[in-house]
Amino acid sequence: MSARAARAAAVAALLAGCLAACGIPTTGVVEAGEPAAGIHQQVTLYFVRAEDGALATVYRTADTHVDAGVAVGMLLKGVGVPEAKVLGVTTDLPPAGATVRTRGNTVTVDLAASAGVVSRTAVDQIVCTVRANPDTTGPAEADPPQVVVTAQGAPVPWRPGGVDCSTAADPWPDKPGRPSAAVTGGRVTGG
């Protein structure tokens, strides 16, 4: 071994020794607060454009698994003042609670007694919101759910042909920051 190789080996051994024993004592588990939260799930909600009454999508996040009850509950909370001003959306839904039941491939949304008269646009909002959140209906390959909206247990009259949620909310490409249509496909009938 040459002198040069011996010096290089000595320097490497010295550095390895210094780095291995850099003076930091071993410690146990260090508590650093709460563990990281789970993944936030995106929820697509259908509201109404204030300027023309057409459906518009608004995206929010949920800290929990989204099912029909969670999606409809978020929809019924309505639109905040900032969203109304910035996005130009409102809701046609009455300020009422709802009971959501899923049986097989049918989701029934029963609006509370305080709902009063429920418009067809309000029913469209509910139906499209349930349809836009695939986790509300089970496996992705499953058929779209039959959505039934009732008020105090009585079916709410709805459009005879249903609404095509994939085209119900027109995109607003000329207005940045505005909601755009979610592509969900399929025709929904109900009520």
* Domain residue ranges of the chain, discontinuous segments joined by +: 41-168
Top-ranked range on mean pLDDT: pick from 34-43, 128-137, 169-178: 128-137
Q: Is the pLDDT of residue 1 over 50?
A: yes
Instruction: Tell me the C-alpha distance between 160 and 66, whole Å.
Output: 29
119 close to 157: Cβ distance less than 8 angstroms = no
Give the global pTM: 0.66
Share of the chain above pLDDT 70, in %: 65
**Cα–Cα dist 91/179, whole Å:** 14
Neighbours of 87 (CB within 10 A): 21
Q: H or E segment at 128?
A: helix 120-132
What number is the average pLDDT over the span 36-64?
86
Whole-angstrom distance, CA of residue 171 vs CA of residue 149:
26
* Residue where the block lists tokens 């009971």: 99
Q: 125, 75 in Cβ contact below 8 A?
A: yes
Chain segment 109-161, per-residue pLDDT in tens: 999 877 678 889 999 999 999 988 866 555 655 677 888 998 888 888 777 66
